[in-house]
Amino acid sequence: MLINCVAYQEGKKLSDIPVEDISEYIKLDDTFVWVALRDPDAADIALMQEEFGLHELAVEDALRGHQRPKLEEYGDSLFVVVQIVELVGEEMSVGQLSVFAGPNYVLSVRRDANQGFLGVRARAEREPHQLRKGAGFVLYALVDAVVDRYFPVVDTLESELESIEDHIFSMQGKQRDNVERLYDLKRKAQTLRHAVVPLMDALGRLYGGRVPAVVDETQEYFRDVHDHLHRIAGRLDAVRDTINTAIQVTLSMVAIEENEVSKKLASYAAIFAVFTAFAGVWGMNFEFMPELKWKYGYPFAMLTMICVCGYLYRKFKRVGWL
């Protein structure tokens, strides 16, 4: 679906243009065209390929979706894939933004993402001195917007981790729930990391040394985005390490709880073993056993067993087994 198709000249908006006129506008001096698509079908992509002269391999990746973050050069144009990570309720959703950037055009293709980039276009149009830099600045603005949306996701993961840590020592008997929450949190952190680290490697090629001509005037901007990604990656590594530690602590708490149960069972087993031992000895049917004909034999036997069991119970209670 077509969102926008706008022509800009010397950093200022000319007008919204029909898709069929794109090839004519990109021939004009100091003019570039910025087109935004959302969940396009094969026909939409084919039309854009014809108007912009896009490389067939890049078109295939944009049409297929679910690509790893990357940057590829095709002649004098760039193809950039960025993963859009969003939290929808408690679930993490991963979409994709594919950007074709050439000397006089930018084509963005958004897939499986709820949030759009109309705010990015509005911001760029309010800064014509920046927009005058052309496709390189638009590419930066789009990637920067995606990266900025990573920060709230990291904040949410950190807050959730703190909440779980607060309950590790208080939720006795419910440690399984903590372990499940920790593994789910680890999966989310890993998903975001898969979006951050490859993109960080890709953007490292857009500043310093030889860079594509499209971004020659915006190198410092991409260095700033790369720095943001580096900070996010560091926070994710800290979250992952803390999760691993929390999992180990939780499993240790489970082992401690199981050990307490084992102690109680062993204590009661020892106490009842006294009854079994005395009853086993006094219950033997020999004719000449001592106290066999004694009038007070039964009360004496019961009192003895009760006293011994009481002594054992008190002993186990004192050492903390009961």
Task: Give the tens place of pLDDT for each residue, 6-64.
Answer: 999 888 888 888 988 888 888 888 889 999 999 888 888 998 998 888 999 898 888 88
Q: What is 1-148's CATH superfamily? A: CorA soluble domain-like (3.30.460.20)
- CA pair distance 17, 33, nearest whole angstrom: 9
In the chain, % of residues over pLDDT 70: 90
- Which of 48-62, 70-84, 236-250, 287-301 comes out lowest in average pLDDT? 287-301
Mode of pairing for the β-strands spanning 31-38 and 12-16: unpaired
- Going by C-alpha positions, the residue among 273, 267, 274 that lies closest to residue 313 is 267
DSSP classification of residue 61: H
- CA pair distance 172, 258, nearest whole angstrom: 11
- CA pair distance 121, 289, nearest whole angstrom: 103
- Please say if the pLDDT value at position 267 is more than 80: no
- Report DSSP letters for 14-25, one per residue: EEE--GGGHHHH
Residue with tokens 């090839």: 23
- CA pair distance 182, 165, nearest whole angstrom: 9
- Please say if the pLDDT value at position 234 is more than 90: yes
Q: Which amino acid is at 95?
A: G
Q: Is 219 exposed, middle or buried (0-12, 13-18, 19+ CB in 10 A)?
A: middle
Q: For residue 84, what pLDDT is reported?
A: 93
- Which of 23-27, 116-120, 173-177 comes out lowest in average pLDDT? 173-177
Q: 42-55 b/e with 16+ CB inside 10 Å = b? A: eebbebbbebbebb
- CA pair distance 154, 26, nearest whole angstrom: 40
- CA pair distance 242, 184, nearest whole angstrom: 14
- Going by C-alpha positions, the residue among 122, 117, 121 that lies closest to residue 96 is 117
Q: Given pLDDT bands bounded at 50, 70 and 90, which one contains residue 115?
A: confident
Backbone angles phi, psi at 32, to 5 degrees: -140, 160
- Please say if the pLDDT value at position 280 is more than 80: no
- Give the residue-averaged pLDDT of 126-131: 89
Q: Given pLDDT bands bounded at 50, 70 and 90, which one contains residue 230?
A: very high
Tokens representing 306 are 């009760």
Q: 243-282 b/e with 16+ CB inside 10 Å = b? A: beebbebbeebeeeeeeeeeeeeebeeebeebeeebeeeb
Higher pLDDT, 254 or 122: 122
The structural domains of the chain, with segments of one domain joined by +, span 1-148, 257-318
Higher pLDDT, 320 or 57: 57
CB 51 within 8 A of CB 34: no
Backbone angles phi, psi at 290, to 5 degrees: -60, 150
- CA pair distance 215, 80, nearest whole angstrom: 12
Higher pLDDT, 304 or 67: 67
Q: Given pLDDT bands bounded at 50, 70 and 90, which one contains residue 173?
A: low
- Please say if the pLDDT value at position 312 is more than 90: no
pTM, two decimal places: 0.79
Annotation: CATH topology of 257-318: Methane Monooxygenase Hydroxylase; Chain G, domain 1 (1.20.58)
CB 98 within 8 A of CB 117: no
Rg (the chain; Cα; Å)? 35
**Close Cβ partners of 23 (under 8 Å, ≥ 6 residues apart):** 50, 51, 52
Q: 166-194 b/e with 16+ CB inside 10 Å = b? A: eebeeeeeebeebbebbeebbebbebbbe
